[in-house]
Amino acid sequence: MIKKKRKSKIFNQNQKSFYFQDFYNSSESRKSKLNIIDDRIFILFSVFVFLIFIFSIKVFLISIERPKKLSYNSTSSEFVPIRRDIVDRNGNLISSSIQMYNAAIRSNLVRDKKKLILKLQLQFPEMNTENLLNNLNNKKYFYLKKRLTNQEYKRLWLMGEKGIVFEPVQNRIYPHSNLFSHLIGQTDDDNYGISGVEYFFDKELIKAELNDIPLTLTVDLNIQHIINKELKNSINTFNANGAGALLMDADNGEVISLVSLPDFDLNKREKINGDQFTNKITKGIFELGSIFKTFTIALALDENIVTSSTIIKNIPKKVKCSKYEISDMKKFPNEMSVEEILIKSSNVGTLKIARMIGQNKFESFIQKLHLNSRAYLELGELGTPHSLKWNKCKLETISYGHGITTTPLQAAAAYAAMVNGGYYVKPTLKKNTLLKKKIRVIKESTSKSINSMLRKVVTHKDGTARLANIFGYEVSGKTGTSQSYSDKNKNINTFISYFISNEKKYILLIMLDDPKIARDLIYDYNGFKIKGFRNEAGWNVVYVAGKVIERIGPILAINKNNSTNRNVVKKFN
């Protein structure tokens, strides 16, 4: 055993010696190895020299380059917005993304905390210094202010504090602040839509492949501005709590303007909790009163139960229905034609016609007009009318617009069907949307008869909407006055009108929340100057509608043939 181990050791030693002698005894091999090493050193040296040369040229070019001027108003040329722009039907910018900065503080980089607080207090007097000191002492990293304006960014940057860190962020900006507040909506800090159009089209707005193509809406910036201004004037004139308006193309459902007041500035990003800021047109649920008489009479005509000239006899002054007593606001004859009942707005006369129709047909017609289902529009803020219980007197009260709720948006869409030849079209906010198959809800002959009657509501001496008779636009419509759900002592006054501008048909709805008598207002009524003395829809919302139509009519006529695919204006900076 011992001998074997020794042999193994000798064998290993011999192997080692053999390799050692093989390496050093070959001169040719040694020469070759040395040449390879020299070549490698030369290549490596050449690479280093080349790199030094390149860097030297770069340093030289930088040193002679003219320094760029620091700008606080421009964004990087490489800026790529996360969300697409939103524009109106004419290409005017409504919503866009820009680069802004959040200011944060790294507490460990702040050498003198008291000095920093003093500097910040001088620049931003409104800043809470106690909270700031507490954050500096207890937090390693915290936000000083988000979404800095250009001026705020400049003031903080010039302080030269290492502890202040600027984080570039994208922010949504709304050039027209309040004008589209109930329509466009807002985004959160992570650039996700949280309300309005921004919410509804959120997935479309963040599609990278569509980034250069703005989302085009049906609304018109100029018309929105005019209607907004007229509504604000009306609130002051009639001392109203709020107002709303909707302008819609009667043939294709395109919403050209939607205003709800009071409004708010989208750029301030404040919490809006008050009920007064509810979108009155799409989310507000109201009893809209006498405008429903139009639907009752249209159904009676469509079912061939009556004609416009049919005389309704024995119309009582009052009708007892269960425990309720239904009457008219004014004294009317005991015999009136169907047309006169609509023109003069008789509750009792309409009630008698509804009884001739019957509950089943009336209920089916309301469903056809989508008056009692959830409203539809490309927004998140939509109302659902209260459910209907067809108990005693429900048919009678609904016939003249009481005991049934709906949104102004739904009422306007139903009115469009009454006057556009009898077709129901869904309201829409998205331009170039493929028009779905029209759904007929009344016969064309019925629509013509209703048009004629609604025109007389504006032109007839007993009509309730004579103040809206604007020359050249063939205005027709129906007024409605109802009690507010929140306070029975307050009224909601509504006027839905239909007018023509350059052969295009439009629906305009105006509503005022609890208007008062405008005693200082001088009306031009049939050529006479009359001072305000009544508080009915015919003396406030009709007056406002007339003012609006007079101003927007020419713009609609000019815009009719304009292209809607114009180039978008430059981004708002």
DSSP 8-class letter at 561: T
Using an 8 Å Cβ cutoff, are 313 and 335 in contact?
yes
Helices (H), 192-268: 196-200, 202-205, 221-238
With respect to residue 193, please indicate whether it lies within any of the assigned structural domains.
yes
The pLDDT score that the predictor gives to residue 392 is: 84
Tens digit of each residue's pLDDT (9 = 90 or more) over 137-182 = 888 898 888 888 788 888 888 888 888 999 888 889 999 999 999 9
Residue 36: which pLDDT band, with cuts at 50, 70 and 90? Answer: low
Instruction: Show which of 190, 216, 242 is a domain's final residue.
Output: 216
Same domain, 210 and 249: no
- Show Cβ contacts of residue 95 under 8 Å, excluding neighbours closer than 6 positions: 85, 86, 172, 173, 174, 184, 197, 198
**Chain-centre distance for alpha carbon 440:** 29
| Beta bridge partner(s), residue 404 | none
Q: What is the mean pLDDT of residues 327-353?
A: 93
With respect to residue 6, please indicate whether it lies within any of the assigned structural domains.
no
Same domain, 420 and 502: yes
Q: Does 7 score more than 50 pLDDT?
A: no
| CATH number for the domain that contains residue 237 | 3.40.710.10
Residue 438: which pLDDT band, with cuts at 50, 70 and 90? Answer: confident
Q: Does 503 score more than 90 pLDDT?
A: no
In the chain, % of residues over pLDDT 90: 53
Query: Which region among 46-50, 343-347, 466-470, 472-476 has the lowest average model confidence (pLDDT)?
Result: 46-50
pTM of the model: 0.79
Same domain, 231 and 323: yes
Residue 510: which pLDDT band, with cuts at 50, 70 and 90? Answer: very high
Query: Which region among 40-54, 245-259, 272-286, 409-423 has the lowest average model confidence (pLDDT)?
Result: 40-54
Tens digit of each residue's pLDDT (9 = 90 or more) over 22-32 = 334 445 555 56
What does 139-174 look like in DSSP terms, one character per residue? -SEEEEESS--HHHHHHHHHTT-TTEEEEEEEEEE-
The pLDDT score that the predictor gives to residue 69 is: 36
Write down the residue that tokens 């917005």 correspond to.
81
With respect to residue 444, please indicate whether it lies within any of the assigned structural domains.
yes
Q: Does 76 score more than 90 pLDDT?
A: no
- The amino acid that residue 7 corresponds to is K
**Chain-centre distance for alpha carbon 331:** 45
Nearest to 541 by CA among 463, 472, 483, 464: 464
Phi/psi at 253 (5° precision): 80, 5
In the chain, % of residues over pLDDT 70: 86
**Measured between alpha carbons, how far is 18 from 259 in angstroms, rounded to an integer?**
100
Using an 8 Å Cβ cutoff, are 197 and 86 in contact?
yes
Ranked by mean pLDDT, the top range of 11-25, 177-191, 299-313 is 299-313
Q: What is the mean pLDDT of residues 425-436?
A: 83
Same domain, 280 and 415: yes
Ranked by mean pLDDT, the top range of 69-78, 428-437, 463-472 is 463-472
Using an 8 Å Cβ cutoff, are 540 and 238 in contact?
yes
Q: Does 199 score more than 90 pLDDT?
A: yes
Same domain, 314 and 408: yes
Q: What is the mean pLDDT of residues 24-45?
A: 63
Range of the domain at 124: 86-216
The pLDDT score that the predictor gives to residue 432 is: 77
Same domain, 201 and 254: no
| Count of structural domains within the chain | 2
Angle, in degrees to the nearest 10, between helices 541-559 and 221-238: 170
Same domain, 172 and 247: no
- Residue 366, CA distances (Å) to 140, 298, 484 in order: 62, 12, 22
- Residue 29, CA distances (Å) to 14, 23, 24, 42, 432 in order: 22, 8, 9, 20, 82
Q: Which 3 state secondary structure label does DSSP give 551?
A: helix
- The amino acid that residue 170 corresponds to is Q
Q: Kindly state the tokens that stand for 13.
A: 């030693």
Using an 8 Å Cβ cutoff, are 74 and 573 in contact?
yes
Q: Kindly state the tokens that stand for 116.
A: 């920093």
The pLDDT score that the predictor gives to residue 67 is: 45
CB neighbour burial string for 487-503, b if at least 16 within 10 angstroms, e if fewer:
eeeebbbbbbbbbbbee
Same domain, 420 and 292: yes
Same domain, 138 and 281: no
Residue 444, CA atoms < 13 Å, CB-side half-sphere = 0
Q: Kindly state the tokens that stand for 32.
A: 């070759």
With respect to residue 33, please indicate whether it lies within any of the assigned structural domains.
no
**Measured between alpha carbons, how far is 83 from 191 in angstroms, rounded to an integer?**
8
With respect to residue 25, please indicate whether it lies within any of the assigned structural domains.
no
The pLDDT score that the predictor gives to residue 5 is: 42
With respect to residue 58, please indicate whether it lies within any of the assigned structural domains.
no
Q: What is the mean pLDDT of residues 457-472?
A: 92
- Show Cβ contacts of residue 348 under 8 Å, excluding neighbours closer than 6 positions: 315, 316, 317, 318, 319, 326, 327, 328, 332
| CATH number for the domain that contains residue 183 | 3.90.1310.10
Q: Does 93 score more than 70 pLDDT?
A: yes
- The amino acid that residue 71 corresponds to is S
With respect to residue 455, please indicate whether it lies within any of the assigned structural domains.
yes
Tens digit of each residue's pLDDT (9 = 90 or more) over 537-557 = 999 999 999 999 999 999 998
With respect to residue 24, please indicate whether it lies within any of the assigned structural domains.
no
The pLDDT score that the predictor gives to residue 315 is: 93
Residue 148, CA atoms < 13 Å, CB-side half-sphere = 24
- Show Cβ contacts of residue 204 under 8 Å, excluding neighbours closer than 6 positions: 84, 210, 215
Same domain, 534 and 433: yes
Q: Does 107 score more than 60 pLDDT?
A: yes
